[in-house]
Amino acid sequence: MKYEGPVHCHIVEKAARDLLKERGVEIIDVAEIVYKMQVQYTDTLTIEECIESVDRVLEKREIQHAILVGVELDKLAEQGRLSEPLQSIVSMDEGLFGVDETIALGSVFGYGSIAVTTFGYLDKEKIGIIKELDEKGNQINTFLDDLICSIAANASSRLAHRIRDREERLREEEIERRDIEERIG
């Protein structure tokens, strides 16, 4: 279907989420990476908080657009529909080809330095679903594995900031409670 005028944000988000599922990526897969990245900093973290953070990241247009472009290029490479030498470069996930990381990294900058450093770590270590995508022989995921690094890094950063905000609010509430008790007491 060809759209007249701007494509509604809900259509774009649904298309991006559908592509992830089509390529074998579930929200929980990404949330598990987020959990591994953040649980060391807080003992109250739940997988539900990680899922919620991944969902919020997937609401961002920049992420959705990156998914649409990256997965489309992976699919075209699987079909042998890219021009040479790009076809060979994408098919073999050429080590010096940095466009896949560049697209994914561009989606990270909105979430700050924590997201940038986490992206680099995940791109190098390839944990969880990222490793599975990187090693999937029957499917080209040259762009997708890096996009999942980006989503997980963004969700981790978002969560880290939210946790800090919550801790600060709790400290402020405790100080206020003590002040009230001292005045009453």
For the stretch 106-140, pLDDT in tens is 999 989 999 999 999 999 999 999 999 999 878 99
Q: Which two tokens stand for residue 89?
A: 């470069």
- Residue 171: the pLDDT is 82
Superfamily of domain 9-184: PgpA-like (1.10.3760.10)
Rounded Cα distance between 35 and 128, Å, is: 11
Instruction: Supply the angle between the helices 99-106 and 144-184 in degrees, to the nearest 10.
Output: 30
Which residue has 């953070």 as its token pair? 53
Examine the pLDDT at 183 and tell me if it is beyond 90.
Answer: no
Residue boundaries of the structural domains of the chain: 9-184
Q: How do residues 76-97 score in pLDDT, each as one tens digit? A: 999 999 999 999 999 999 999 9
Contacts of 107 (CB under 8 A, 6+ apart): 60, 62, 63, 66, 147, 150, 151, 154
